[in-house]
Amino acid sequence: MSRAKIVLISVIGLHLVAETALTPFLPRLFDQLYAVDEPGATGLYLWICRIVGLAALPLWGLAARRWPLHRLVLAGLCGSAVLDLLLGLAPSFAAYTVLSAAVVSTNSALLLAYPAFIAEHDAGPAGGERSRLAGICSIVVVFHLSTVVATMVGAGVLALPEPRIGISAFAVLDVVLAVLTYRVLGRRAPAGAADGDAVAAAGDGRDDGGARRRFAGLAVLVQAALIGVAFDFSVNVARPFFTEFADDLGSGSAGSAVLFFLPSVAALAVLPVVRRCHDLLGDRLLPLALAVGAAGLAWQSLSSSLPGLAGGRLLFGIGLGAGQVAVELWAFRATGTAGPAFTAVETARSAGLLAAPVAAAAAVSYDLALPIAVAAAVHLLATGLSLRRVPVSPPKPALTYSEEIPR
């Protein structure tokens, strides 16, 4: 793996860990630092951060129309370094919330390392969809590993005699990655990748049928966004109350934790064969993976025993591993790697993530298994959305920023 890819995937890992490390421990953190123990305070904090993130992401996407992705990532790292340092010094809960929202806004820029990482694969000597698929598989591995790392980091910060030191320590990682990003990517030429395969295929008004082609490109973006929203919503709506559901079947706290992470274990196990499956199935991989995931979720919602629940979790994990890769590959076909189209789709998907906990809370008031049943239904909806790919013309060749600026 090239130095540029290593730096970019490290940025992605930092983004994932920084976003989730303290989330499971926020009530304890607020109680310990500010003597705030109301559950509503944690909920308010999370909503403010998520709304700010939802607003910031498209703004970074618009900035990507003017500046290269790696420069925006560098700006985000520098901003996060300053804010993370200040966050550990926040004197009150209100100040901590304001600074956290500011950190979320700068951390949103780190998400642009994702298309930049895929662009590095597109620019390689192999290029093509198979190379892009390898990059996406790497991202999915980092996603699942970061879940474990984030939990360990969050627990470690809370175990410190002074958690503020652990919070501010994120600034050190930001600075290290900022220096590496500047040294490895700082002399890269501006990105010129197409805003999306479908968008590039749409051409301009001078092409024959230009309006129809632009509409087709927009239709592909909308389809990719809807599939992404349905997939992300269904995966996350089943999570908030899963441990309670498992505990109701007699799993105990340790058993609930194992069952919670079981899909990630299955997803990691299936990733080595995903590329082979894609070679055999092509575009059929997405609906098949989503259907398997929907079956696994339905199995869980109907389970009345722990072995049955474990079987459903494993089946869901298999669909999750293949489905994540297929969904991201589908999305990058539509958005490309330039930034604006990518952030438009990601913003829509973030809205789905925002709605998931609300839907889960409403569903669980009727039955503990209902959020999982809702997830199965929405997963099935995503399967239907993916059955037909909107046809577009072959894309124009995309430029990349893989060449060094001449000295």
Q: Average pLDDT for consecutive 10-residue bins of the chain (407 residues)?
A: 82 85 81 84 83 87 84 92 93 94 91 82 63 82 80 84 92 91 72 49 51 68 87 86 83 79 87 86 90 95 91 94 89 74 81 81 87 94 82 42 34
| pLDDT for position 38 | 80
Does domain 197-385 sit in CATH 1.10.132.20? Answer: no
Q: How open is the CA angle 184-185-187, to the nearest 5 degrees?
A: 105
Q: Is this prediction's pTM over 0.85?
A: no
Residue 321 near residue 218, CB atoms below 8 Å: no
Query: What residues pair up with 404 in beta bridges, in sequence order?
Result: 188
Rounded to 5 degrees, φ, ψ at 154 are -60, -45
Interatomic CA distance for residues 294 and 320, integer angstroms = 9
Interatomic CA distance for residues 270 and 209, integer angstroms = 43
Tokens (6 digits) for 138: 């790497």
Interatomic CA distance for residues 225 and 215, integer angstroms = 15
Helix ranges restricted to H, 88-162: 93-107, 113-123, 128-159
Tell me if domain 3-185 and domain 197-385 are identical in fold: yes
Rounded to 5 degrees, φ, ψ at 178 are -65, -45
Interatomic CA distance for residues 163 and 297, integer angstroms = 38
Rounded to 5 degrees, φ, ψ at 175 are -65, -45
- Domain coordinates in residue numbering, the chain: 3-185, 197-385
Tokens (6 digits) for 39: 């559950």
- CATH hierarchy code of domain 3-185: 1.20.1250.20
The continuous run of DSSP H or E covering 321 comes out as: helix 306-335
Interatomic CA distance for residues 263 and 289, integer angstroms = 14
| pLDDT for position 105 | 93
Residue 192 near residue 67, CB atoms below 8 Å: no
